Structure 1
Amino acid sequence: MNQAMKKAKETFAQGNYTCVWCRDDELLTSKEAGLRPLLTRIREGKDLSGFYAADKIVGRAAAFLYVKLGAAGVYAPVMSRGAKELFAEYNIPAEADELTENIRNRQNTGLCPMECAVSSCGSPEAAYAAILEAIRKMQQK
C-alpha cells in the first residue's frame, strides 16, 4: 500500500469523516453523507486525479463517480462487489473490509436509490447523468 492510501485510511479511521482524499501532502476531508462529497467535487471542477480515497460505503454509483474524478485508489469498510469489479475494469486499486452484494438504502428497506439509478449504466458519464436525474426526481417528491 502506498503512503497516500495509507494516510487516507489512517485519517479516515481517526476522524469523524465520511470521505478522505490524499495525494502527496494534500489532504481533503468531508463529513457530507452519501454521494454529496463526490458530487460537490465534480460540481466544483476539482481535479482529484492521483488522489487516494477512503470512503464510508462504496457502491457502483460512488465507484462511477470516483472513476470520473480520476481516483488513483479507493478504500472502504463496506464496498459492493459491483463497485470492486468496476474499479478493476478501470485499473483502479480497491480495498474493502467487507464486500457485499448490494448497497441498501438508509432505512434498510430496499436497494439504495443511487445504485438503482446506475444499474444499467456503462460509463461514468452515463452514471453521473443518471444520478443527477434520480436526485432531481427525489427532490420533486
Structure 2
Amino acid sequence: MNDLQRAKEGLKGHTLCLVRGEKVLVRDERGIAPMMALLSAGDALAGFSAADRVVGKAAAMLFVKGKIKELYAETISASAAAFLQMHGIPFTYGAMTERIVNRTGTGYCPMESTVLTTDDVEKGYSLLKEKLAALRTANG
C-alpha cells in the first residue's frame, strides 16, 4: 500500500491524515484548522501524501505551502482542483463541486471566499491567518 492509499485509509474517523513512510499525522479539527496548526507549528510536511474530507481553494493553498506530494479529497472545489493542477500536485477525489459552502449551508465558505481572488500562496496564507483571527475575535 502506498502513502496516499495509507492516508486515505487513515482518514476514517479523522478530518485529515498525512503519511510519509512510517510517519503518520492525523488531525480532527474542522475546516482549514488542521493544516493551519501544522504549518504554524513548523512541521515539515514536504513529501507527505494527504487525505482530507473537504478541500476548497484555501486548503489547496495550504497543501501547496506545505509542499505535500499528492492529495485525496472526499470533496474538492473546482477552484481547488485548478490551483493544485497549476502547482503540479496530483490529486484524486470522491466528488467535485463548484464551490465549498459554509457550515450552515447559507453561503460560500468564508475561507474559500477569502482567497478566491489570489493565486499567491504566501498572500493567501496571510489572508487566511487574518480571517481566522477576525473570526476568533468576533466569536469571542
Q: TM-score range by the shorter chain?
A: over 0.9
1:6 counterpart residue number: 5
Aligned-pair identity in percent equals 33
Which amino acid in structure 2 is aligned with residue 7 of structure 1? R
1:49 counterpart residue number: 46
Say which of 22, 26, 29 aligns to 2:23: 26
Q: Post-superposition, which runs of at least 4 consecutive aligned residues in structure 1 deviate over 6 A? A: none
Question: What displacement does 1:133 show?
Answer: 1.2
1:13-92 superposed matches below 5 A: 13=12, 16-92=13-89
Say which of 81, 104, 109 aligns to 1:107: 104
Answer yes or no: is the 8 Å Cα contact 2:83–2:119 preserved in 1: no
User: SS where residue 56 of structure 1 aligns?
Assistant: strand
Answer yes or no: is the 8 Å Cα contact 2:78–2:99 preserved in 1: yes
Coordinate RMSD, CA, aligned: 1.0
- Taking the aligned partners of 1:62 and 1:51, their CA distance within structure 2 comes to 15
User: SS where residue 104 of structure 1 aligns?
Assistant: coil
Which amino acid in structure 2 is aligned with residue 69 of structure 1? G
What's the CA shift string for 1:5-54, capped at 9, x where partnerless?
Answer: 011011113xx100000001111101111111101111100110000000
Q: Give the gaps of 5 or more residues in structure 2.
A: none
Which amino acid in structure 2 is aligned with residue 139 of structure 1? R
- Taking the aligned partners of 1:60 and 1:42, their CA distance within structure 2 comes to 16
Question: What displacement does 1:85 show?
Answer: 0.8
Which amino acid in structure 1 is aligned with residue 121 of structure 2? P
Question: What displacement does 1:140 show?
Answer: 2.6
Question: What displacement does 1:121 show?
Answer: 1.3
Question: What displacement does 1:135 show?
Answer: 1.4
Q: Which moved more, 1:97-106 or 1:120-129?
A: 120-129
